[in-house]
Structure 1
């Protein structure tokens, strides 16, 4: 197994104890010899090497697999890491809502200006809409539901999903957004979701907080800028961007109603990755299709 990325070395150390029968090679920048040697690969990004690349098994160290789906013909089996990320993402989104409700960012600015400005706390929103109903989105719904927030999910089919109070199909997005106080996107990147959070969606909002913890390519930034200008979106919390790191020239950095975080909503841990790899390895050895497998046709 070939490993790369920021977690490559610690994951390799842990796997040496758990799966001593597996030969492991760690490379920050794999070359053609490395990918030719490996039957399996794990990392956050597809290895950039010249010539043909193919693996029997690829494991994504994160929950997102958008960097791998373009290489579906070169992958026998694709699995992903979930672990504790749904809970961490739920806590992250809740923290953003609490910050907004208790004016913590405003107090930090007031402190910088040496101003004493008490502000009355606002209640948490009574209704939130989450775009996506997968495992990460469900973690968000659980966290908000524990604090009395009614959570509506939106997915392609409208199929019911646990942890959500109601679920709408995307074709009924207008109905789903009626009365929405906070809109949270946990959508993956795909051709179908590129720019899907458009003026049609953002224009339906009324003084809404918008949070994106899915993928940056899903948001039409021109539509978001217009929504902020007219007040349909009053606060945009963005953790993900189409190009990362976000370019210094982006208008997002200086906008007073935009808060930027550097894709840290639910970071993978070594334990998450090791458990996912070890569990998948055991299931493959038994001839069982792993629950963490990714349907490449469905993702593409």
Structure 2
């Protein structure tokens, strides 16, 4: 019998209670799943950083912690955690992120805002957008989410380049790494998508220096992590026209304060951290597989490399 403590958002508990037990049973695993199990009986924790568990030393029989979030920056430094930690990469999260990124890339590609917000009774000849094959899209971060988004954009016909800490080989994406590779992607991208994990090395990856390397008038889309962008430097670049527009779903402070300049800026679109979410029905598939793998002594899916920070 495996004892699994659910320590995520209480509002999502009914979904996990319904979805996970049948998946475990199908894998031959007898389990008790509950939001309240005596600490000395807990074998696994399904965890969210804003959930009730912060001190893992209280669980002597703990074998692994399965985070429900894609980002692990809020847990990776927890000194009380000394068992394997996994992050969530599930089909629902990947599809949601793909849809958000594709929608906003296409929005900026065809200049949709001009027509939506410019209906003033005047019929004007406007510049036709280029075909997708003539538009350069850059993606910073080629993990599961970045690679999936890049592949989708490549299917539209966009010229897609991507950058990651280590060199990747992904069909349809020209992949780069290292400082020179980052410079190449910044200089060539007309629309830049940020999907890097947040670590000490990626903090403010877009700053005054790197923003200056981008094409004048280029577009930034950030559905990744708020800390990837130096917000003060971005505001300066927007005011100068160096950056044409920024569509931002994540911020250094959330919720975004009501008096933040982003809200009223004509070159900024604010969305309230809704690009993608982990859904119980798809997360449960990953959780069940990882519990089965741990039970059988196999490698876990999406195990966090603490030295790398993700």
TM-score by length of 1: 0.87
* Match of residue 47 from structure 2: 43
Question: Is 81-90 or 142-151 further displaced after alignment?
Answer: 81-90
- SS of 1:274's equivalent? helix
Which whole-Å CA distance do the structure 2 matches of 1:86 and 1:50 have between them? 27
* Match of residue 168 from structure 1: 176
- SS of 1:58's equivalent? strand
* Match of residue 77 from structure 2: 70
Shift of 1:160: 2.3
- SS of 1:19's equivalent? helix
Identify if the C-alpha distance between structure 1 residues 268 and 191 changes in structure 2 by more than 3 Å, giving closer, same or farther: same
Which whole-Å CA distance do the structure 2 matches of 1:130 and 1:50 have between them? 33
Which whole-Å CA distance do the structure 2 matches of 1:229 and 1:36 have between them? 57
Q: Is the 8 A contact 1:129 1:180 kept in 2?
A: yes
Q: Does 1:79 align with 2:83?
A: no
Shift of 1:294: 1.5
TM-score by length of 2: 0.85
Which whole-Å CA distance do the structure 1 matches of 2:278 and 2:135 have between them? 30
| Structure with bigger RCO (C-alpha 8 Å, 6+ apart) | 2
Shift of 1:224: 0.5
Q: Is the 8 A contact 2:47 2:53 kept in 1?
A: no
- SS of 2:103's equivalent? helix
* Match of residue 182 from structure 1: 191
Shift of 1:92: 1.4
Shift of 1:49: 5.8
Identify if the C-alpha distance between structure 1 residues 72 and 18 changes in structure 2 by more than 3 Å, giving closer, same or farther: farther
* Match of residue 204 from structure 2: 195
Question: Is 137-146 or 8-17 further displaced after alignment?
Answer: 8-17
- The one of 223, 226, 235 aligned to 1:225: 235
Identify if the C-alpha distance between structure 1 residues 220 and 171 changes in structure 2 by more than 3 Å, giving closer, same or farther: same
Q: Is the 8 A contact 1:280 1:292 kept in 2?
A: no
Which whole-Å CA distance do the structure 2 matches of 1:34 and 1:129 have between them? 48
* Match of residue 260 from structure 2: 250
* Match of residue 7 from structure 1: 12
- What are the residue-to-residue correspondences of 1:1-300 with 2, within 5 Å? 1-3=4-6, 4-5=8-9, 6-19=11-24, 21-26=30-35, 38-45=42-49, 47=51, 52-53=57-58, 55-71=62-78, 73-84=80-91, 85-110=93-118, 115=121, 119-123=126-130, 124=132, 126-157=135-166, 159-172=167-180, 173-206=182-215, 207-299=217-309
- Describe the superposition over 1:34-80 as per-residue Cα deviations: whole angstroms up to 9, x where unpaired: 65653322233154568655543111113222222122641411112
Equivalent residue pairs, number: 292
Which whole-Å CA distance do the structure 2 matches of 1:101 and 1:258 have between them? 16
Question: Is 38-47 or 284-293 further displaced after alignment?
Answer: 38-47
Which whole-Å CA distance do the structure 2 matches of 1:178 and 1:297 have between them? 30
Instruction: For structure 1, list consecutive stretches of 5 or more residues without a partner in the other structure.
Output: 28-32
Tell me the C-alpha RMSD between the 2 structures: 2.4
Which whole-Å CA distance do the structure 2 matches of 1:15 and 1:266 have between them? 21
Shift of 1:163: 3.6
Instruction: For structure 2, list consecutive stretches of 5 or more residues without a partner in the other structure.
Output: none
Identify if the C-alpha distance between structure 1 residues 18 and 149 changes in structure 2 by more than 3 Å, giving closer, same or farther: same
